[in-house]
């Protein structure tokens, strides 16, 4: 009787090559494909979104249980579906991975001709994952925005104003 080799038995370079060889992709609207075929099952999509993470070197990964692979992402791995809250507290972002997290105003920026972006901590590692606001979420966020006559915008949280730049903020 033979047994399957478990990943821990493989040399790291072989395991890395296998993880890179899985043809999983996320399109610009957050749709997943595997070998070019759409993944559409709701629960499978929920597991994939819940397993999104980013390596220390900035590569997006997806984890299911103890196994993971690299994920090719055409835009941002997460999307803000809605924004809620009130007052001087940071708005809460409802993400497409099922979590609600506070918006870090220092990460918010307006990508020219693409819309608002920010980062949110990955559920597993806590490293910052890129996040794209949906149109609805951008409209929700309008309650916290001050748009100047010049077109520049700032996020307003109580007495604090956070200008929204048109390029990604430098990592701190």
Domain ranges of the chain: 12-73, 78-163
Burial class (CB in 10 A: 0-12, 13-18, 19+), 52: buried
The predicted structure's pLDDT at residue 2? 46
Torsion of CA 138, 155, 87, 126, to 10 degrees: 80
The predicted structure's pLDDT at residue 83? 98
Q: What is the mean pLDDT of each successive set of 10 residues along the chain, which is 172 residues long?
A: 56 83 93 96 96 96 93 97 87 97 97 96 96 97 90 91 92 64
Residues 12-73, CATH architecture = Roll (3.10)
The predicted structure's pLDDT at residue 14? 84
Cβ atoms of residues 30 and 79 within 8 Å: yes
The pLDDT tens digits for 79-88 are: 999 999 987 7
Cβ atoms of residues 27 and 33 within 8 Å: yes
The predicted structure's pLDDT at residue 170? 81
The predicted structure's pLDDT at residue 7? 54
Query: Sign of the CA dihedral 116, 122, 48, 8?
Result: positive
Predicted structure pTM score: 0.87
Q: Who's near 74: CB < 8 A, 6+ residues apart?
A: 25, 26, 27, 28
Torsions phi, psi of 107, nearest 5? -105, -5
Q: Who's near 152: CB < 8 A, 6+ residues apart?
A: 163, 164
């Amino acid at each position: 009787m033979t047994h399957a080799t478990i990943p821990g038995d493989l040399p790291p370079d072989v395991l890395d090559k296998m993880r890179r060889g899985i043809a999983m992709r996320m399109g610009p609207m957050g749709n997943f494909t595997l070998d070019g075929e759409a993944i559409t099952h709701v629960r499978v999509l929920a597991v994939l979104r819940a397993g999104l993470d980013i390596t220390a070197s900035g590569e997006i990964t997806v984890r299911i249980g103890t196994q993971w692979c690299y994920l090719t992402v055409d835009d941002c791995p997460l999307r803000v579906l809605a924004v809620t809250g009130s007052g001087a507290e940071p708005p809460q972002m409802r993400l497409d991975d099922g979590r609600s997290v506070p918006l870090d105003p220092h990460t918010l920026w307006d990508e020219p001709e693409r819309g608002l972006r920010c980062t949110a901590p990955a559920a597993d590692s806590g490293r910052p994952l890129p996040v794209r606001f949906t149109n609805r979420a951008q409209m929700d966020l309008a309650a916290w925005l001050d748009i100047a006559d010049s077109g520049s915008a700032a996020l307003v949280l109580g007495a604090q104003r956070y200008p929204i730049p048109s390029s990604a903020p430098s990592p701190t």
